[in-house]
Amino acid sequence: MSSESHSDTHQIPNYMAIFWWLLGLTIAEVAWAVIPHRSELVLASGIVGMAIIKAVLVALYFMHLKFERRIMGILFASTLILGCILVSVGIGELVLPRP
């Protein structure tokens, strides 16, 4: 089975709908960034949350991860998990008390 026939076996997503979502979320991000917030945690949570949604939309629909074999998703997700562990170790340096 050729790569092209594997791609053709799934319904082509509505790319323009994804584009409008990405545009809307980008506008919402900038708006969230400029309005005053009670704490930086609220600011960061909102922006990071929206950025993650955008990144997931790009990965699932533009990179076709939703329609690929499961092994691709596992491969990609495993590196994200390793990355999160790396970042957590660094943040631990800041948060945890020194011996």
Q: State the residues that interact with another protein by CB under 8 A.
A: 1-4, 6-8, 12, 15-16, 18-19, 22-23, 26, 29-30, 32-34, 40, 43-44, 47-48, 50-51, 54-55, 58-59, 62-63, 68-69, 71-72, 75-76, 78-80, 82-84, 86-87, 90-91, 93-94
**Cβ neighbours of residue 51 under 8 Å, at least 6 residues apart?**
29
In this structure, are residues 61 and 18 in contact, taking their beta carbons and an 8 Å threshold?
yes
Q: Taking the complex as a whole, how short is the minimal distance between the CB of residue 75 and another protein, in angstroms?
A: 6
Structure tokens at 37: 């917030």
Min dist CB 24 to another protein, Å, is 11
Looking at the Cβ atoms of 16 and 97, the one nearer to another protein is: 16
Q: How close are the terminal C-alpha atoms of the chain, in Å?
A: 58
